[in-house]
Structure 1
Amino acid sequence: MRCKYTAVEPKLTAKLIRESKMKLSNINAILMALAFVTSSCGADAYIKKGEKNLALGEYFDAANNFKQAYTRTPAKEKVARGRISAKLALCYDKMNASQKAVGAYQNVLRYGLADANTHLLFGRQLLKTGAYKAAEEQFKIALDSLPNNKLASEGLISAQQATQTKNEGSRYIVKRMEVFNSHRADYSPMLFGDEHNKLYFSSTRNEAKGDALSGITGAKPADIFVSERDDKGKWTKPEPVPGGLNTDYDEGACCFSPDQRTMYFTQCTTNPNYPRYAQVMTSARADAAWAKATKLEISKDTLSSFAHPAVSPNGQWLYFVSDMPGGQGGQDLWRIKLTTNGLGEMENLGEDINTPGNECFPTFRPNGDLYFSSDGHVGLGGLDIYVAKQNNNQQWEIEHPGFPLNSNGDDFGLTFDGPYNRGFFASNRGDARGWDHIYAFEYPEIVHSIKGWVYEQDGYELPAAQVFMVGNDGTNLKLGVLADGSFRQVVKPGVEYVMLATCKGYLNHKEELMVKPSEASHEYVLQFPLASITAPVLIDNIFYDLDKFSLRPESKQALDELVKLLNENPNVTIELSAHCDYRGSAEYNKALAQKRADAVVKYLIDAGIAEERLTPVGYGKEKPKTIRKKLTERYKWLKEGDVLDESFITQLDKDKQEVCNQLNRRTEFVVQRTTFGLLDDKGNLKAKKKTPKKAEKETEDVFDILE
């Protein structure tokens, strides 16, 4: 039993869902009809309790009451027993107790109360138990009366093809993960973190919050738990998520925004007098902790459920599940626009994905493929996992990944380990009580990817940056950067890529990469340090001999990086400055510093940088270094804003004095202008050169990015 089943049942037709939400005021009419055909030995009291439980979504309690009513109804009263069996079948269905549901439907048939819809629902339960031949028979009977029923026709095809699909198998490798599982339900895993080293999931285990057992499941209401993977790949014992996220209600099916700062999840509240409806909640992360959740107002509709949130990889859409009007029947997948001003337009994903059955648990692979579960498409039984990809006409194409990722049970809730086709999912396969458990999956494949970091040179990560990526295969992408300044992108073997990192207030940085074919997966790691436009930028690893100004050979690498930077930013002019420590006379230090600055500028000019873009200045000891925050992490005894002048240094211990003198002996640059070559003699912006027409269409975006 999953959190969302407390409010939105994925296995029922739209008709039965409506019946399960029947108002309490209408129950009396049903009770009168049942009481007419039942004996007076106490069955009617249990029926009344069961109907109230059912109307509130308390399926476990309802089933217990209907069982009591059934045993108190004499066998000769077949009509009464048949009607109670139908109610029991409904409860067992919602509780994922498929074997018990099959027994209840057999009683409905035995007492002669079966109609076409009974045969349809019976067939769907038989699919879940793997009784494909028996299911085929029930679907055929249902189709005699319901020839146009899509659920019956898809169910028949499923029953006829399931055995062959299982025998064919697939390359997927599936393994049950006991480290995450309990003796209750564990489901909806979701990886989190830049290294995907945390796994969030929902569980009704004994450690969940509260003491009361749910009338819906017979177990505790679900809470969200988390496990962490250490450096050796070992997962820790799952613990409840700390803070105010978990409540006495059901929490489940969580996901995260691309920047990892917002969690979306499903919550199912309780009310002793009103049916349960699921709602989507949000929680913000601050200082590595999740705050108390607030409701996300997707719609003003108060009679429908909203569950199973999933954010698209670009962060522009929130996908979710709902039984609200306007869908294809049962539960449908919907999406709503996420904007800086709140939620925007909402749309149904359409009949390519949605069916008269139930579609739920959407999730995304980082490459944009949409995964979801459904009991309305052809499959192996219960909820099967499907992958949806959009073609060039923006139409969804659906694929069934086969066995063993799918089974005759419920399979749902995937999460992916970065760009790779591996991760975790939930399934109740093989569990007689219908409890869900977490499994690992992997589809062996060769994946080439890039992981990059964008950060301020001599500073911190730049989450506001963007990375433009073009390839000679036609690739033209704009990549977002996560909170830690990182990004990851799958690339193709044999393709040459150019990546340009940009951020307001910083110079651009470009990297080129040729992806080599390989027989194993490989991740390229690239660094994108961006130089500030407003603050001095240290040119590290510039070396001179003592009291000399000639550059030593080991300075070449750092100077070549500076040449590259200036070529990537051709409209920038800089002041190139050299600095000394406070020891020695001011005149001597200034003269030496000037010669050293001149030597660096000469190297840059010889490398092709225009002389008018460079201004060498030797400051000597006139401008002692001012400490920035990043440097205080290395030298704990320094504070941000400290100025390393003579009076500051001479108060320190000898070893600390030498550190400060080394920090003062530096070569750095400051950006002076960013418009070099852009203006004419009158100060007006020069006209941009036009791209030749022949190549204009193919290259205009690339030129816009890289110029």
Structure 2
Amino acid sequence: MKRTYFFATVLLALFVLGSCSSQKNYRLGNLSYEIGEYYRATEKFRKAYRKDDNLQHKMEMAYQMAEAYRAIGDYGRAAIWYQNAIRRQHPDFKAVLHWADCLRATQKYEEAIEAYQQYLDSFPTDVQAINGLDACRYTQEWEANPTRYVVNAVRELNSRYSDYTPVFVGGRDNEILLTSARENNVGRKESGITGAYFADIYRAEYQVQRQKWGPPQLVDESGLINSPDEEGAVTLSPSGDEMIFTRARYDKQNDKGTELYRVKMSRGNWSEPVKLDLVGDSLIAAHPSLSANGDTLYFVSDKPGGYGGKDIWMATGGGGSFSNPVNLGPKINTPGDEVFPTIRSNGELYFSSNYHMGMGGLDIFKATRNEEGEWRLQNLKAPINSTGDDFGMAFIEGEEVRGLFASNRKGSRSDDIYSFYLPPKVFRVSGEIYDKETGQRMDGARIRIIGTDGTNLRMRADKGQFQMTLNPETEYVFAAFKDGYLNDKGRESTIGLDESQDFRVDLYLTPTDAPIKVDNINYAFGSWELQPQSVYALDSLVGILELNPTITIELMAHTDFVGSEQFNFDLSQKRAQAVVDYLIQKGINPKRLVAKGYGETWPKKVTRKMAQQYDFLKRNDELTEEFIKQLTPEQQEIAKALNRRTEFRVLSTDFYETFSPEVEE
């Protein structure tokens, strides 16, 4: 009996201790979560969750663990805990939206689409959900059709810890500063936010002989810059002798806010850091980026007056002092987080956002101002962006677009540094010149190429072939010439093209030693009135005459043998004249035009192309009345239609336009 009582007492004590421990961890988890120590919060909540039988507590802890994991970029674990909270009927329906975001970030697109649609059923106008749903569709397309950027992990700069926000010293490609939480940092304290060690600022040089980066070394070991607190993203003046960096200060592991400090280099030594007073205490001031002339500072803050989450702000000043921060506005900033700005010397702003439509997590966006000063945004898509977090662009100054950025995409050990390079757009054109009648490639033709960028080239087509490289943002005209043939031309344009492209321009020269049929010129039955559908063919004839300004032509109209000879002569003459009148109306000099009606007296001779099209005809057959009457009724109608035609033949090739001087009264 005493033994039973003893064991009961022990069990009760253990239960009470477990309950107290659970409540303590739950309380500590809430405290850590409130001050932004998300990693530490997950540890406390997990311990409390295992021992807490209170269903309300479990629901709340599941949601807060999901929020904490999402805050540190662990989207896989976040999705699991959001689903747990939703299953426990968490009252905040945002859990469904965040669950959908995390599913998308882990490439579970079908599940994400269902979750977004579930959320939109209750909140149909929610911009974040609409963007997320669209992103599920676009992301797969962007991954399947990446942009021209070439992206590679820079192995020698990366550790198994977080490495991020590289910046080039002086814009050169041989020296960088970066932020890292690797093993040899100062202080060796663990961050309650991420669970990693506090980060410090490192320096690395590119080793030309080895064609790789050397091992990163602490930029300062004295405690002046790299302190026992946590150092973060940096920016440098154009000369590299001034640095503004981020520092997160802690007092007994309590977050005291994130601040920006400025230091200057003198004779190889950094000065004492000076805090920039940009925001109030306990607010965030982080992720600095200096303009090329050093008088404008872009940074991230959660200060009042923003649009929610973290916003990008701009402060102007000089001599290292900046004041009166201005929010960049709703085109850039959103209810989500906009972070890690980089301002280039050409005015382009690059930043990361988890709210603008992207592939998942933080995506990098390019922002440019139009003539009215309004920002225009562009998602850099894959392979710059991924379903993970992508941030912290750094550019090497020069004509080529290349540099470094950070990402925790699939294949990364943590936040890793990646290189990017945008190969120049290459546009090539190739083509061949053919005899339009025979279909054979021609030798001896000449090409003239005119571009809106001032290009004016003449070349001989070698064996009927030509090729050349085209310039970006240019419209081209390609014209082919050969004696005894009508000229032909084609157009291509590289204006607005984002990707390299090969063009094909084949030109067809029509011989002038035989009449040339103009297809699809139609008249009312038994009349010379031109039908409206003839306009395209007539305008193409105008184009031929404009492209061949030295030719004069005889416009020839023909009929079939139905009706009297005199009627057909008169009808064909009036039809030919109707076409000539149209050409004159379009600006063609009347001296270049002769109208001639032939009635039924000039039957069509079958060409190679016609013989290929109609198996009852052979090349050089003449479609006389006698020949046609030997055909079947159906074949007769085809043959008569071939005889009813409008053609032209070249009379001369030496016409030159002359203009009479105006006579002044």
Fold similarity call, TM over 0.5: yes
Matching residue of 1:210? 187
Residue 57 of structure 2 is matched in structure 1 by 80
Provide the residue aligned with 2:99 in structure 1.
122
Q: 1:122 to 1:493 in 2, by over 3 A?
A: closer
After TM superposition, list the pairs within 5 Å mapping 1:538-687 onto structure 2: none
Q: Distance in 1 between matches of 2:331 and 2:148?
A: 26
Alpha-carbon distance between aligned partners in 2 of 1:360 and 1:387, rounded to the nearest angstrom: 13
For residues 178-216 of structure 1, the C-alpha deviation after alignment (integer angstroms, 9 at most, x for no partner) is 100101100111111363311111111111111332222
Long gaps (5+) in structure 1: 1-37, 448-472, 474-491, 495-707
Equivalent residue for 1:45, pick from 24, 45, 48: 24
**Aligned position for 2:113:** 136
- 2:408 aligns with 428
Residue 239 (structure 1) aligns with: 217
User: Which residue type is aligned with residue 284 of structure 1?
Assistant: K
Displacement of 1:493: 12
Provide the alpha-carbon RMSD of the alignment: 2.5
Contact 1:108 1:114 in 2 (8 A): no
Q: Is the 8 A contact 2:73 2:361 kept in 1?
A: no
Q: How does 1:1-150 map to 2 (within 5 A)?
A: 40=19, 42-74=21-53, 77-113=54-90, 115-150=92-127
- Is the CA contact (8 Å cut-off) linking 2:19 and 2:51 kept in structure 1? no
Q: Any idea what SS the aligned residue of 2:385 has? A: coil
Give the 3-state SS of the residue equivalent to 1:334 in structure 2.
strand
AA at the equivalent of 1:49: L
Q: 1:45 to 1:342 in 2, by over 3 A?
A: closer
SS at match of 1:429: coil
| Equivalences, count | 411
Structure number with greater Rg is 2
- Counterpart pick for 1:182 among 131, 152, 159: 159
| 1:375 and 1:383 in contact (8 A); partners too | yes
Distance 2:231 2:237 in 1: 18
Amino acid at match of 2:25: Y
Matches of 2:28 and 2:421 in 1, distance apart? 47
AA matched with 1:418? E
How far, CA to CA, are the matches of 2:65 and 2:257 in structure 1?
22
Deviation at 1:274, TM superposition (A): 4.7
Give the secondary structure class of the aligned counterpart of 2:202.
strand
CA separation of 1:61 and 1:445: change in aligned 2, threshold 3 A: same
Provide the C-alpha distance between the structure 2 equivalents of 1:185 and 1:114, rounded to a whole number of angstroms.
35
Return the alpha-carbon distance in structure 2 between the equivalents of residues 182 and 402 of structure 1. Answer: 26
Secondary structure in 2 aligned to 1:179?
helix
- Pairs within 5 Å for 1:169-318: 169-193=146-170, 195-232=172-209, 233-242=211-220, 243=222, 244-272=224-252, 274-299=254-279, 301-318=280-297
Mapped to 1, the partners of 2:171 and 2:377 lie a distance apart of: 30
Q: Taking structure 1 as reference, are residues 171 and 274 closer, same or farther at Cα in structure 2, changes over 3 Å only?
A: same
Which residues in structure 2 correspond to 1:276-675 (within 5 Å)? Answer: 276-299=256-279, 301-340=280-319, 342-419=321-398, 420-430=400-410, 435-445=414-424
Shift of 1:39: 8.6
C-alpha distance in 2 between matches for 1:289 and 1:493? 48
Match of 2:135 in 1: 158
| CA distance in 1 between partners of 2:283 and 2:188 (Å) | 29
Q: 1:211 aligns to what SS in structure 2?
A: coil
Give the match's secondary structure for 1:61: helix
Q: Which amino acid aligns with 1:46?
A: N
Q: Greater CA deviation, 265-274 or 100-109?
A: 265-274
How far apart, in 2, do the equivalents of 1:412 and 1:443 lie? 17
Cα deviation, residue 348, structure 1: 1.0
Deviations 1:285-329 (CA, angstroms, capped at 9, x unpaired): 112332332211113x22421111101123221001111111111
Taking the aligned partners of 1:57 and 1:205, their CA distance within structure 2 comes to 22
- SS across alignment from 2:133: helix
Query: TM-score normalized by structure 1?
Result: 0.55
Decide whether aligned partners of structure 1 residues 137 and 272 sit closer, same or farther in structure 2, where only a CA change above 3 A counts.
farther
Aligned partner letter, 1:234: K
Deviation at 1:407, TM superposition (A): 0.2
Question: Which residue of structure 2 lines up, in the alignment, with residue 524 of structure 1?
Answer: none
CA drift at 1:147: 3.0
Residues 650-703 of structure 1 deviation map (CA, whole Å, 9 limit, x = unaligned):
xxxxxxxxxxxxxxxxxxxxxxxxxxxxxxxxxxxxxxxxxxxxxxxxxxxxxx
1:41 Cα deviation from its structure 2 partner: 6.1
Looking at structure 2, the residues matched to 58 and 360 of structure 1 have their Cα atoms a distance apart, in angstroms, of: 19
CA distance in 1, matches of 2:227, 2:135: 40
Counterpart residue identity of residue 172, structure 1: Y
How far apart in 1 are the matches of 2:208 and 2:21?
A: 62
Q: 1:425 is matched by which residue type in structure 2?
A: F
Superposition deviation, residue 87 in structure 1: 1.5
Distance in 2 (alpha carbons) for counterparts of 1:45 and 1:61:
14
- Following the alignment from structure 1 to structure 2, what is the Cα–Cα distance between the partners of residues 276 and 493? 52
Q: Secondary structure at the match of 1:119?
A: helix
CA distance in 1, matches of 2:242, 2:212: 26
Counterparts of 2:152 and 2:144, CA distance in 1: 18
Determine if contact 2:229/2:250 at 8 Å carries over to the other structure.
Answer: yes
| Structure 1 CA distance for aligned equivalents of residues 425 and 137 of structure 2 | 34
In the alignment, the residues of structure 1 paired with residue 226 and residue 137 of structure 2 have an alpha-carbon distance, to the nearest angstrom, of 44
Q: Structure 1 CA distance, aligned partners of 2:412 and 2:241?
A: 39
- Residue in 2 that maps onto 1:631: none
- Asked whether the 8 Å contact 2:170–2:237 carries over to 1, the reply is no
Distance 1:303 1:149, change over 3 A: farther
* Higher relative contact order, structure no. (Cα contacts within 8 Å, ≥ 6 residues apart): 1
Which residue identity does 2:266 align to in structure 1?
Answer: A
- Residues 95 and 369 (structure 1), Cα distance of their counterparts in 2 relative to 1, 3 Å cut: same
Aligned-partner residue type, residue 78 of structure 2: A
What are the Cα deviations for residues 14-43 of structure 1, in whole angstroms up to 9, with x where unaligned?
xxxxxxxxxxxxxxxxxxxxxxxx993631
**Residue 270 of structure 1 aligns to a residue in which SS?**
strand
- TM-score normalised by L of structure 2: 0.59
Which whole-Å CA distance do the structure 2 matches of 1:431 and 1:293 have between them? Answer: 37
- Aligned in 2, Cα 1:39/1:227: closer, same or farther, shift over 3 Å? closer
Change (3 A) 1:271 1:41: closer
State the 1:340 CA deviation.
4.3
